[in-house]
Structure 1
Amino acid sequence: MPSSLRRWITVATLALAAFGWQRAALAQSAPAAQPTVAAAADLKFAVEEVAKLFEQRTGHKLRLVFGSSGNFYSQILQGAPFHLFMSADEDFVFKLADAGKTLDRGRLYAYGRIGIMVPKGSPLKADGELKDLAAALKDGRLRKFAIAAPDHAPYGKRAKEALQHVGIWEAIQPKLVYGENIAQTAQFATSGSTEGGIIALSLAKAPQVAALGDFALIPESWHQPLAQRMVLMKDAPQAVRQFYDFLATPEAQAIMVRYGFAMPKE
């Protein structure tokens, strides 16, 4: 096993283990005043880079927690001490706003994309039109295929829509391995435990992931848009409010674009 792959699996495993602990204990253990950002897992590399630049400019250090948007939505409803929620699906933000949990209805910060990722040595091809994936279902090359859980992960929901678009959703379901979020799905899709998976372009753009296999974009017309919206909580401290504004600056947006996000025009 290549050393880069071992490092990725180790880091991903530790990160996921840490996230599991955070999800269970955050509401009880995290200081309420600690500036905390709950961000969709597709943002991991991009937002870490933006936050680092923000810290250099302002001196404010933020606590970043990554996971599935659906899980964060449920945790915020239950009172988890997050101050900024960066969702991969704007509907979760609207629901929180309607429940009176947020400062307002937030702001679109990006549009995401999905694609197929296959690890080195996979019998699958990185074919964005999913024709080879359909063929592999028939000829026996496909044993396992990873997507994020569609019930709470927006990128999983869009993956399901793309698979439905090409007419293979029913046939592929017995082969599916579901990631808790899109970061775990990327681990499954690149570790060799599956023949591939559908992951976020923003993760495939990260050098740590790109080195592990091949990636091809799926046409965006095959699924609903990944309209990603962020929103402040009513008790957000000043540092988090500044970060919210910083995300709209040309410097921050340039980082997001480099990771494959499209910027909203509003």
Structure 2
Amino acid sequence: MRSHSLPRLSGLWLILLLLSSASQAETLRIAVASNFSDAVRPLARQFEADSGHRVQLIFGSTGKHFAQIVNGAPFDAFLAADRRRPELLEQQGRAIAGSRFTYAIGQLVLWSPNPDGGDLQQQLKQGRFRHLAIANPKLAPYGRAAWQLLDKLNLQSSVRGKLVRGENIGQTFHFVSSGNAELGLVALSQITDPQQPLPGRHWLVNPSLYEPIVQQAVQLNRSPAIDAFMNFLRSDNVTQLIRQHGYAIPEGR
């Protein structure tokens, strides 16, 4: 597990955290898209240290989390890998109105842990691989972006028999890191460790080749603790760490 230190919070956000901790400590259940796992863990630890509340992180595909929330799963907030599901939850009255915001913009990357083999983009186009891992396009926004890329490159037909599909981007990454697929279209955040980047080769896909992966968070319940957590996610220190983990940040943040 990666270990990162987050600068201590100050100013308004620390005041909000202290106010929330004045009430009885709570356990927050946060549904998180798999691509954000490495970034959110140190954030959760920092929030726990500052507030006294406990944060339980539940990782999975955005589509699966959405279905669970619709069916009554007791989550306090949803950190999705797209904009569409948080919007739907807000429209359906299942989320706190006005709580939705963009916390990160995901970036798609073609990755191989093998440092040899030449240019990855050409390897993909020429089909010089046995298996290509992508996330399920129906469940995972990164999978949808990967499928859009293959369409733009006119490769959908030629690679169809070589695809290995993960339920979420975390499983997709595991297929590649374990050697079950030579190549994988994964999240840049999964190979970007601020302290020790993963070895291998990667091709950062031009964002014009897929729809923007706008990752939004939405609050599902109201309490001092979850109010403080959502404000914490908007703080400058958190934004800085998110950027270090391979995400773009929307203008104005």
Q: So what's the TM-score if we normalise by structure 1?
A: 0.80
Alignment correspondent of 1:116: 110
Alignment correspondent of 2:225: 239
Alignment correspondent of 2:179: 192
Task: Verify the 8 A CA contact 1:190 1:196 in the aligned structure 2.
Answer: no
1:28-62 superposed Cα distances (whole Å, 9 cap, x missing partner): xxxxx731110111100101111112222222220
Q: Secondary structure of 1:164's match? A: helix
| Residues 1:206 and 2:193 aligned together | yes
Task: Verify the 8 A CA contact 2:191 2:198 in the aligned structure 1.
Answer: no
| Residues 1:99 and 2:85 aligned together | no
1:151-195 superposed Cα distances (whole Å, 9 cap, x missing partner): 010000001111111110111111000011111111112211111
Cα distance in structure 1, aligned partners of 2:154 and 2:197: 28
| Residues 1:79 and 2:53 aligned together | no
Task: Verify the 8 A CA contact 1:112 1:228 in the aligned structure 2.
Answer: yes
Alignment correspondent of 1:160: 147
Cα distance in structure 1, aligned partners of 2:242 and 2:152: 28
| Residues 1:261 and 2:247 aligned together | yes
- After superposition, the Cα gap between the structure-2 partners of 1:171 and 1:197, relative to the gap in structure 1 and judged at 3 Å, is same
Alignment correspondent of 1:48: 41
Cα distance in structure 2, aligned partners of 1:35 and 1:86: 13
Residue 212 of structure 1 deviates from its aligned partner by: 4.8
Please list every run of 5 or more consecutive structure 2 residues that lacks an aligned counterpart in the other structure: 3-25
Matched pairs, number: 228
Alignment correspondent of 2:125: 134
Alignment correspondent of 1:61: 54
Identity fraction in percent = 32
The one-letter code of the counterpart of 1:114 is L
Residue 72 of structure 1 deviates from its aligned partner by: 0.4
Q: So what's the TM-score if we normalise by structure 2?
A: 0.84
Q: Secondary structure of 1:198's match? A: strand
- After superposition, the Cα gap between the structure-2 partners of 1:209 and 1:183, relative to the gap in structure 1 and judged at 3 Å, is farther
Q: Secondary structure of 1:62's match? A: strand
Residue 110 of structure 1 deviates from its aligned partner by: 1.1
Q: Secondary structure of 1:263's match? A: coil
Alignment correspondent of 1:148: 135
Task: Verify the 8 A CA contact 1:119 1:191 in the aligned structure 2.
Answer: no
Cα distance in structure 1, aligned partners of 2:115 and 2:192: 20
Q: Secondary structure of 2:27's match? A: coil
- After superposition, the Cα gap between the structure-2 partners of 1:84 and 1:157, relative to the gap in structure 1 and judged at 3 Å, is same
The one-letter code of the counterpart of 2:75 is F
RMSD (CA atoms): 2.1
- After superposition, the Cα gap between the structure-2 partners of 1:201 and 1:126, relative to the gap in structure 1 and judged at 3 Å, is farther
Residue 87 of structure 1 deviates from its aligned partner by: 0.6
